[in-house]
Structure 1
Amino acid sequence: NRPTGGLNEEKKRYAHELESIIQLSDIVDAIKPTFLIGAAGQGPAFTREILEKMASFNKHPVIFALSNPTSKAECTAQEAYEATNGKCVFASGSPFPNVEYQGKTYIPGQGNNSYIFPGVGLAVVICRIRHIPEELFYIAAKTLSDLVTEEDLAIGLVYPSLEKIHDVSRSIAVSLAEYAYEHNLAALYPKPENLDQFIKSNQYTANYQDVLPSKWDWPKLN
């Protein structure tokens, strides 16, 4: 019952049967969600009041302020951690600096497609996958989640460090390649015996070999 409309079929599956509510704060009161996802690019929609409410009925409220650029983010990492007393699970679409709060350092995770697309593209190109079903993206997401360690979670990261993106992309590509060969989606035959090594050997790296010949200094003569 939404007089303003705007509900397509994808959104309807998550809708609640309630009287029309306009303000986000009132919606939070009525539904008591565990997870807030901001992706509308409308700026600071997650106010301190809303963040405090989320922390009042969730042990670890999930706050994803995913809008880009930073000026359009629904809240900052600092605001999220402070308003929830450091309880929230936070990720953003734009990078935020580390947050020092009550003697602990939180490293905000960045929810970015750079975690998924390189691995998907790597598998598709190398294994010649000509049809890309939705299952591949589910497998990519599941593989990514499995790469998050307890150490990552302890400092606030819900994604692996971007410093590991090369290894993350390869792990995703290997998982997708396995699925592709099991379901006859790969056109590269025969199937490599060691997919991890095969993908690693074909993965782009910014380390270039020196093409110049070796040089030696002439010894000095007395």
Structure 2
Amino acid sequence: MIETDKLSAMFTDVSLNKTITECVVNVKDEIATVYALDLTESVFVQTSTDLQGVEDCQFGIGSLDVFVRYLNMIRGSSIKVSIDDSRLIIVPKKGRKLSYLLAEPDLIVTYEDSFLEQGDVIQGEFSDYDYGKGIDLKQEEVKDLLGIISLFDPNSISLRVNSKGKLTIHTGNETQHQSDISFGKTSCKECEHKLYSEYFASILSIIKFEHNPKMFISNEEGSSVIITTDNTGWILQPETVDV
């Protein structure tokens, strides 16, 4: 039996509030791993969870938001999962049954088999860049930042690190209200990364603080910004500006 809460949490991490609309699931040794990319190639996600009873396979999920909403309907229950004739069969313990029509992996336009060859984002295998020690994301700071983003709706966010490694998150441009929130110290020095506020806020709004969220920044030009929890890693593609 599989706990729906874990499955729902995994696909919620992938969907990012409808930012990502489809994905491919790879199952090996009863562990389901998802690598997904949004249509603008601005955010990449990797996550995994147990999928007991399903043999090694690969399948696509289209209409990801619909699938997430169904899983949320049956949260708190245990389910049996199997695959039969291109359908994902979900049988809750209470007796309902869903025969979810799967998509062929090669029809998921944002997926590439090369995703399987890259490092484990969750375990810190990000790239050749030096990210050093991540910053622990604290609930109070994240709540304040999300409040500012919701109130003023900035187009972009800047992660600014000074020469001493202190990180400040700046919101708003010259024609908007602006704010600065301190987020602690990093292991990189003097850099700035600009991110689309929509994607950054989508990630921060769904992270669970009991799952040890961290953010990783490198001062290497062209590097991405990484956010991880115990089970999920997101890679955000920024515009990098020299300070």
TM range (shorter): under 0.3
Please identify which structure carries the higher helix content.
1
TM-score normalised according to structure 1 size? 0.25
Please identify which structure carries the higher strand content.
2
Larger radius of gyration: 1
Structure with greater contact order relative to length (CA < 8 Å, sep ≥ 6): 2
TM-score normalised according to structure 2 size? 0.23
